[in-house]
A and B are shown apart, each in its own frame.
Chain A
Amino acid sequence: MSVPRGAVHAKWIVGKVIGTKMQKTAKVRVTRLVLDPYLLKFFNKRKTYFAHDPLQQCVVGDIVLLRALPERRSKHVKHELAEIVFKVGNVIDPITGKPCAGTRFLENLSDSDSLTEADTTYLSEKLQELKVCSTDK
């Protein structure tokens, strides 16, 4: 029997965290595509859910996956945090497993590798100037 899952219709949902001011609870906004009957176009319709987050590991802006609890935890909390899909500022590309931001990977950015010849000469000149200034003082 599938009674165990859900006092609620939505068993699994994905949403964005919009508030963490409550203790061990995250406020999550879930958007669904709803068809407008006259325009016949799909628009996002938002709904907020409260999710139980015992370790308080959510930050505002995370994309999270919620699982329905077998019974309601409190008047409004009917879901719990299953996993953080994308952590804000720390998105990991699931295909390659590397950290990324927007459309580029962050992994291969390091100070000395991406410098060109012109950069190094410019920087060394600047360093020289600084050395001169410090001896003056």
Chain B
Amino acid sequence: MPMKGRFPVRRTLQYLSQGDIVFKSSVKVMTVNYNTAGELSEGARKFVFFNIPQIQYKNPWVQIMLFRNMTPSPFLRFYLENGEQVLVDVEDKTNKEITEHVKKILGKSKEMLEKEEKERKKLSHPATFGPKKYHLRECMCEIEGQVPCPASVPLPKEMRGKYKAAMKNET
């Protein structure tokens, strides 16, 4: 039972998380003007079709607006925090070139992304136990070499509280 649509792979979480453009925090709005017909706008059309979902997934707080058939030439425009505007002409470029260019001018670099990843890791300690949402493991019984969970394998008699109490009462 295949997925509906022309390129339904665009609608998978794996594809969306593969986008590598993470904008710098100063980018607030991104506007794409493109045309629905014409050779020159082909790259822009592919960019909107394939790459915009990835960008929006990685940057949920950036407003993205698409304008069709407003001007003869296709372009991208970014509005930054300090009022600056960046105009990117995408006429006659393939969508790969557009993404590379945008990543170079306004994307966070790989080092910055790795640094942020490390910061996030520091906040959570890997050796603690608790709910799956916040920790890696929930109970000691999950680890190999430790006493298995009594839910799956009954504990030996000597470890059960009932036996220990009986022994104590006896002696």
Contact = CB atoms under 8 A, between A and B. Distances in A.
Interface of A: 10-14, 30-33, 35, 39-42, 63, 65, 67, 82, 85-86, 91, 93-96, 100, 102-105
A78 to B, nearest CB: 15
Nearest to A92: B71
Given A14-B31, A39-B11, A41-B11, A105 B75 contact: no
Given A94-B87, A103-B35, A12 B79 contact: yes
Q: What does DSSP make chain A's interface, helix, strand, loop or mixed?
A: strand
Contacts, number: 75
A5 to B, nearest CB: 8
B50 interface: no
Given A94-B87, A95-B87, A103 B11 contact: no
Given A31-B65, A96-B73, 15 more contacts: A11-B81, A12-B29, A14-B29, A14-B31, A14-B79, A35-B57, A35-B60, A39-B11, A65-B29, A82-B83, A93-B71, A94-B75, A95-B73, A95-B75, A104-B72
B24 interface: no
A63 B70 CA distance: 11
B159 interface: no
Q: Across chains A and B, which 9 residue pairs bring their CB atoms closest together, nearest first?
A: A93-B71, A40-B11, A12-B28, A95-B73, A33-B56, A103-B72, A14-B29, A12-B79, A100-B71
A11 to B, nearest CB: 6
Contact of B12 (A14, A40, A86, A104): A40
Interface in B67-93: 67, 69-73, 75, 77, 79, 81, 83, 87, 89, 91
B70 A32 contact: no
B63 A91 contact: no
Contacts of A95: 71, 73, 75, 87, 89, 91
B16 interface: yes
B13 interface: yes
B70 A86 contact: yes
Interface string B32-70: 000101100000000000001100110010011101011
A104 B38 CA distance: 12
9 contacts: A14-B79, A33-B64, A40-B12, A63-B67, A82-B83, A93-B71, A96-B73, A103-B37, A104-B72
A65 B71 CA distance: 18
A42 B56 contact: yes
